[in-house]
Amino acid sequence: MQILILDAAADQYAAQLALVSPDATFLTARSEADALEKAAQAEVLIALAPRITPALLQAMPGLRWIQALTTGVDTLAGLEGVAITNCAGVHGPQMSELAILLMMASARRFPAMVQNQRAATWDRWPQPLLAGKTACLLGLGSIAEHLAAALGALGMTVTGVSSRTDAPGVTRIYPRAELAQALAGADFTVVLTPYTADTHHIIDAGALAAMPATAHLINLARGGCVDEAAVAQALRDGTIAGAALDVFAQEPLPAESPLWSVPNLIITPHVGGFSDIYHQQVLPIVTANLADY
């Protein structure tokens, strides 16, 4: 059995997985070009889902199983005849920490402080606290549960929008039909829902208009969950106070995108799921799945 691993940490994965499947041949690649050269005979592919391109799939006629190193596998939608597993359940710490970082940076206008530092300008303004504020989480999966606990520890009230009827750390859950009401009562809205046809542009101009003028939007889900043009307009018009986007409809975000210059918008390059110990976080899942396979 040949197993192709496409990742910056491919060698580390291979070394650990060889202990589970010592008779398998592990092919490691750090780039798509390298992977294409080794793909022909592999029946298993281990990689981040967004790095699995049509060209790579076409180069693997014997492919039987994809182990995605991500939670989301929407980029593989429609693929037939291949088993797909993911790494759900490990992203709570890094996603929660980024959410809190972006909430604080947006509310406290931290980018303006950095600009003032570069200009040697001493300017002070009141610093908004998270304590006592309300955060509404759109989507209440495992990441939201981790984030709700962290926000609760900071003294925040947490609400949610979901089909679930209860979730730990969440004081009130609104059905999707009451989205506007949920947003109206939140100081921060954090988008964590999977991207589907039903959640395409779940945050649109209407949703943004329902938010208080002092509210901040954080999107850590998928770019398609948010109408980026509507967010840009809402920020320019002062409909909301600030926003932070980690994911975009087109990635990498093109240099010519108008989003780069939108006032009170923080852009991060899809780093929400990253961590400096990522391979250690997902190895238990990949190892168990390989043993089952």
Strands 172-174 and 2-6, by their bridges, are: unpaired
Q: Provide the sign of the torsion angle of the four alpha carbons 26, 27, 32, 38, taken in this order.
A: negative
Rounded Cα distance, 199 and 74, in Å = 13
**4 secondary structure, DSSP code:** E
- Report the SS3 class of residue 160: strand
| Number of helical H runs and strand E runs in the chain | 10, 12
Rounded Cα distance, 191 and 218, in Å = 6
Sheet strands (E) in 51-92:
65-68, 83-85
Of 91, 222, 228, 279, which residue is the catalytic one?
222
Strands 157-161 and 134-138, by their bridges, are: parallel
Q: Say if CB 235 and CB 227 are below 8 A apart.
A: no
Nearest to 45 by CA among 61, 21, 67: 67
Residue 146 annotated to the active site: no
Q: Provide the sign of the torsion angle of the four alpha carbons 192, 196, 199, 200, taken in this order.
A: positive
Nearest to 69 by CA among 293, 279, 275, 287: 279
Q: Say if CB 138 and CB 190 are below 8 A apart.
A: yes
- Report the SS3 class of residue 216: strand
Residue 251 annotated to the active site: yes
Residue with tokens 């750090």: 30
Angle at 290 between CA 3 and CA 86, to 5 degrees: 95
Of 51, 91, 109, 270, which residue is the catalytic one?
270
Rounded Cα distance, 34 and 37, in Å = 5
Which residues are part of the catalytic machinery? 222, 251, 270
